[in-house]
Structures are given as structure tokens and as C-alpha cells.
Structure 1
Amino acid sequence: MNDSEPVVPTATKQRPRRGGPWAAAAFAAGVLALLVALPLAARDRLPDPVATHWSGSRPDGSMSLTAAALFPALLWLGLVALAVAVRRFRGRQAPGAPGAILASGGVLLSGAQASIVHANLDRARWQDAASMDAWVILIVLATGAAGLLTWLATRTPVTGAAPTGPRGPVMTLPAGERLIWLSRTSNVWMQLAAAVLGLGAAGTALAGATGLTSGHWSLTAMLAILALTVLACSSVQARVTAKGLDVGFGPFGWPRRHWSPTDIGAARAERRTAAQAGGWGYRVNGLGTTLMLRGGDCLVVEGPQGHRFAVSVDDAERGAALLNSLAERAKATTA
């Protein structure tokens, strides 16, 4: 085989994304709660009925406060059902579609509900509601961004099968053949925690934006930072190619760490527990740096200076064998 021929995968062992449905369920429940709670929490400061439709800058339609709380909730349940149906019947052809539907729909309806509460807040009549012009622009931009980012994060299908082949500490690398090893792992509980923290950040942000509360932006920022941090440590993708090892964090594979073959002193598979690593997530202790998402086999890489990095992924032995072979070949080339 020459270098112009297709890439040959050495291994593509991947754990199923079990955390995705649970995180989606938590997100769906959180959005439903926000849609109902926002107008009800402000009912003492809202007219009844409330303005719910605008023509230009002037309100021209209204609903009772109860209907304004329940109607978007029913729309949301319909979108959730649509996402479930797409995942059930079109999941393999469009793996990113269900998440994009939920993300964009949740942002759209939550933003619309928050804008309605804000426009009607402290008004004597629904006809006196404020303009929605600026809110509409922000909601449209946020909806598009949420849908696109979620689609990019979930568009890659994941399979659970692994090809058969030799296993060992070192692999034979035929001349001119390009080899790839890829493994993904996620932690369902960390994904759920990220979803809960993100919903908390969204809830406090919407409450502040509507005028229901004030002075809570520091709490919103803290919850958002925590949600992003936990999300980044809740899943990992390890990829070995001729260029070395790349470890991507989170649903977007970013941030990313890279080791070239010359940076690798040795690689091995090693069984570790969360207690040995010091807990779940990104940990640093006497064993070195570990991204611990589940107990069991970890791919451990040692640098020339003795620093160790470990990541809990499936098929770690095969990945270590390929890394050792690449490192030996790189040393032979530079010798």
C-alpha cells in the first residue's frame, strides 16, 4: 500500500454514548420548568391577560397568564417528542439532529418566554407592554448558535464494535501504511451535572434579564463556568495517528493535548480506579495527570522527562502498542 491510498483504521473501539439521553432528559425537564415558572413567579407584577404577540413595536395579541405559562410548555413537549422520534427513526442518518432540535427549541422558547415576562413586567394593561425589537434579534442569534453548536458536537455517529486484530505492547507497522486508533469515553453522571449546572445558569440569567431579580450575575457566571468545566471533563476522545497522540476534551474535542512520537518515552495500558486517581474528572496526584471517567483500563503515556498522563478509554492496550511502535520508528528515523 502506498501513501496515496485510504487510511486504514487500526482500531476504533468506542463506548456507547449512554450519557446523551440522560443529559437530554435533564435539559428537557429543566426547560419545561423554566417555561412554566417564569410567568408564574412574576404573576404579582404582571397584568392578566399578558401581551403575547406584537405587530412591529406595538402589542396586538394577548393570553391569560395561565395560558401564557402552559402554551409554550406544550410546544416544548411537542419538540421533545419530535427529537425522540428523529433519534428513534433517523438517528443513524442524522445523529446531530435530535440535539440540535432540543437546543435550538429550548433556547427559542425560553428566550421568548423571558421576553414576554420582561415586556409585561409592572404594566397595568397588556396594551402597555414594551417593545420586543431587541429581544427578537438576540433570541434569533442565540437560537441559531445553540442549534449549530449542538449539531457540531453530536453529529459524529458512535459505534460499539471493534475490529479484531493482534494485541500486544508493540505493533508491526508496514512501510507506507497509515494507521489510526480511536477511542471515546463519557461519564453519564458528569454530563448530568453539567446539564444541571447549565440550567441553573440559564435560570438565573433569565430571571435577571426579565427584571425579576437583580445582583445575581456573579452567580450566573459561576454556574456557567462550572457547567463548562464539568462538560469539558465529562467526555474524551483519544486518537493515535502517525503524528502521535491527540486527546480531545468535551463534546467538541477541545481543548486538546498533543504528543508527537518523539515526545513519548513509553506507553502502556494500566488498570486504575477513581480512588487511585483522586476522584473523577481531571486529576493531578502522585500518579501524574489522569482524566478519569470510569474505572478500568487507562492509556498511560510517559514523556521523556518522566511525566505521566493517563486517560480512561477502551482498548487502551492496542493504543499503547501503536504509540510504542510509532515512538520506536521515530527514534530510528532520527538516529
Structure 2
Amino acid sequence: MTDEGSQPAKPAHRGAWWGAAAWSLGVTALLVALPLVARHRLPDPLATHWGGRAADGSMSVTAAALFPAGIWLVLVLVAALLQRYCAERSPGSGAAALVAGGVLLTGAQTAIVHANLDRARWQDAAPMGIEVVLVLAATATAGALAWLSGRKLRGPAGKGPDAGAPVLDVPEGERFVWLSRAANPWLQLLAVVLGLAAAVGVLAAASGLAGLDWSFVLPFALPAVAVLACSSVQARVTERGLTVGFGPFGRPARHWSPADLASARAEHRTAAQAGGWGYRINRLGTTVMLRGGGCLVVRTRRGTDFAVSVDDAERGAALLNALIARTGQPAGQ
């Protein structure tokens, strides 16, 4: 038996679109700004194509800023179409195209600026070598991570049992999966903005426009990673118990076996009750609050509560109570 929340994860989808929009605009700005900011240190025209290691083609500085931005906008459209029409058959393809394309183009633009910097003529541009390898490696890595993240956001589909009963009758030996998630679109957007700010410092250093200033990069990069990890959550119930994963890859994660739990229930909570957004600890126990509404709440054998705001919490609680009943523990509120 395979079971997923009956309602789509609308907040997660909305957050993904907000993040994609911020990424698209940020990459566009970087592609245009890199050559224009360095205009006073670049030849005009500047080298934009290399045959082997030697430059053999050029563009004006303005064209070099606008041409890759135009290619990027086409890639954004392609990624949107992939997400719209191919998400079911190929989950993660749209995210992979968007992230890989952005890394490829910004990496190439950075390498072009660096090769032309402080050269009198475009023919004198520095040869391309290791830069190409690094850009391609970064593109492949970013695309693979985005693809895996996109697949993580897709859950198994199928019709599950009635969520109205507090305990579901799951036949012994029958396998099942319940998966649900939630996301905070504003936290996802903040993570993208912080990440782009860190990228500005890295790309400026890679292009030769400035030295690498860790005092600028780290205050943006570290919060970006932390906020991204806290911006989404997914809860998974299998015969092994409950696993709650954080971030786009479901890592880090917390796990409870059925023997660790006394009961499970669905409960409506607000951010005010939980003490705010994110990972909160107060008189209610521990709450992962990313959006107000239904929460899956489990009580451990130690008497502490853990709550996570996800869709279709009633069904997840019912399945957990069925598992708890198998262990001989009381399942109730």
C-alpha cells in the first residue's frame, strides 16, 4: 500500500516558484553586470570564443552582457515548460535545467571577463584551460543536486485508506508509505537571495575584479545554507516508523521507531502557539512550524511531544497508531 497526503503541498510549490523566480532574476543580473562593471578594464570588443586555447571570436561589451542574458531567459522558459509538462514523468528535470543553466552561464561569463581583464586587444585574451573544466564540473554537480532535490520533493502516489479513523487497519506484512511535506516560501526566497549575495563575492573574485573576501562571502553563504535547511520539512511513515527530514534533501533527519512512540494525533497549531516559525521548543514540546494549520503530533514513550506542520496529518497519525498498536503499546491521545 502506498499513501501520500491527499492534498498537494501548495506551500512547497509556491515556495519553489518564488525561489526559481529569485534565482532567474539574480542570474540575469549577474550575467549583465559582470562585463558592464568591468567595462573600464576590458577591451571593446572583447574575446568571447576560443578555438582550442586561443581566442578566435569577439563581441562588444554590450553584446557580451546581453547575449548570454538572452540565452538564459530562453533556458528559464524551457525549465518552466519542463516543470509544467514533464514533472510527473521526470521529477527534478525543471530544477536541474534551471540550476545547471544558471551555473554554466555565470561560470562562462566569469571566465570570459577574467580572460579579457586588463588586455589591450581581444586577441590578447588569456587562453582557456582549467576554467572550462571547473565550470563544467560545477555545472554537472549543481544540476545533479537540483535533480536529486526535485525527486525528493516528489512522493509516491496512490490511493490510501480512509483518514477519518484514528487507527487504520493495516494487514500484517503489507508494506506502505505515507509521505507529506510543508515549506515556508519566504524562507526559501531568503535562502536564494542570501546565496546569490554570496555568489556575487565569489564571482567577483573569480573574474579578477576583486580579491576573495571571506568576511563578505561567509556572512551570506552560511545563513543561506542554514535557512535552506530550515525552510522545508517532509514527514515519512513506513513500517519502520516516522522519519522527519529537513531541507530539500531530507537531511538532517530525525527518526522514531514504533516502539519509541506512545501515540500520534493531528492537531491544529499556529505560529503564535508554537512560539514562532522554524524549530521551536516550548511548553507544547518541540514543533517544526513552517505554516499554520494541521500538524502531525507524536508523543514519545518518554512523555514528550514532537509536532511537524505537514499536510494530511490525520492519515499519518492513523498509520502511526496502527504501527504502535502492533508493538503492544497504547495508541491514543
Q: d(CA) in 2 for partners of 1:229 and 1:54?
A: 39
The gaps in structure 1 that reach 5 residues or longer are 1-7
Alignment partner for residue 282 of structure 1, among 269, 279, 284?
Answer: 279
Whole-Å separation in 1 of the counterparts to 2:3 and 2:212: 54
1:57 CA drift (Å): 2.6
Conserved 8 A contact 1:35-1:72:
yes
**Residue in 2 that maps onto 1:40:** 36
Q: Residue in 1 aligned with 2:70?
A: 74
Post-superposition Cα deviations, 1:25-78, rounded to whole Å, max 9, x if no partner, equal 111111000000011111111121111112233222211111111111111111
Distance change in 2, residues 1:56/1:177 (3 Å) = closer
Letter in 2 for 1:15: A
**1:201–1:221 contact (8 Å) kept in structure 2:** yes
- Counterpart selection for 2:167 from 150, 170, 184: 170
The corresponding residue for 1:265 is: 262
Equivalent residue number for residue 9 of structure 2: 15
For structure 2, the residue ranges without an aligned partner over 5 or more in a row are none
CA RMSD of aligned residues (A): 2.2
Report the CA distance between 1:311 and its aligned residue. 0.5
Q: Is the 8 A contact 2:162 2:315 kept in 1?
A: no
Q: Distance in 2 between matches of 1:215 and 1:147?
A: 25
Does residue 228 of structure 2 align to residue 231 of structure 1?
yes
Kept in 1, the 8 Å contact 2:163–2:318? The answer is: no
SS of residue in 2 equivalent to 1:265: strand
Q: 1:54 to 1:11 in 2, by over 3 A?
A: closer
2:209 is the counterpart of 1:212: yes
Q: TM-score of the superposition, structure 2-length normalised?
A: 0.91
The correspondence for 2:58, drawn from 53, 62, 84, is 62
SS in 1 for 2:327: helix
Q: Specify whether residues 221 and 64 from structure 1 end up closer, same or farther in structure 2 by C-alpha distance, changes over 3 A only.
A: same
1:300, CA displacement in angstroms? Answer: 1.4
State how far apart, in whole Å, the 2-side matches of 1:272 and 1:291 are. 11
Task: Report Cα offsets for 1:137-169 as digits up to 9, x if no partner.
Answer: 100001111111111111354699975615233
Aligned length: 326
Aligned match of 1:240 in 237, 240, 253? Answer: 237
For 1:178 and 1:57, the matched residues in 2 are separated by 57
Give the corresponding residue for 2:291: 294
Q: Residues 215 and 98 from structure 1, CA distance in 2 versus in 1: closer, same or farther, beyond 3 angstroms? A: closer
Task: Provide the C-alpha distance between the structure 2 equivalents of 1:91 and 1:216, rounded to a whole number of angstroms.
Answer: 39
Counterpart of 2:45?
49
**Residues 274 and 40 (structure 1), Cα distance of their counterparts in 2 relative to 1, 3 Å cut:** same
CA contact (8 A) 1:12 1:162 kept: no
Q: Which has the larger displacement, 280-289 or 131-140? A: 280-289
Q: Give the TM-score, by structure 1 length.
A: 0.90
Say if 2:241 and 2:320, in contact at 8 Å, map to a contact too. Answer: yes
Identity %: 59
Alignment CA distance shift 1:215-1:286 (3 Å): farther
160-169 or 19-28, which moves further after superposition?
Answer: 160-169
Task: Give the aligned residue type for 2:141.
Answer: A
Check conservation: 1:172, 1:325, Cα contact below 8 A: yes
Shift in Å at residue 22 of structure 1? 1.9
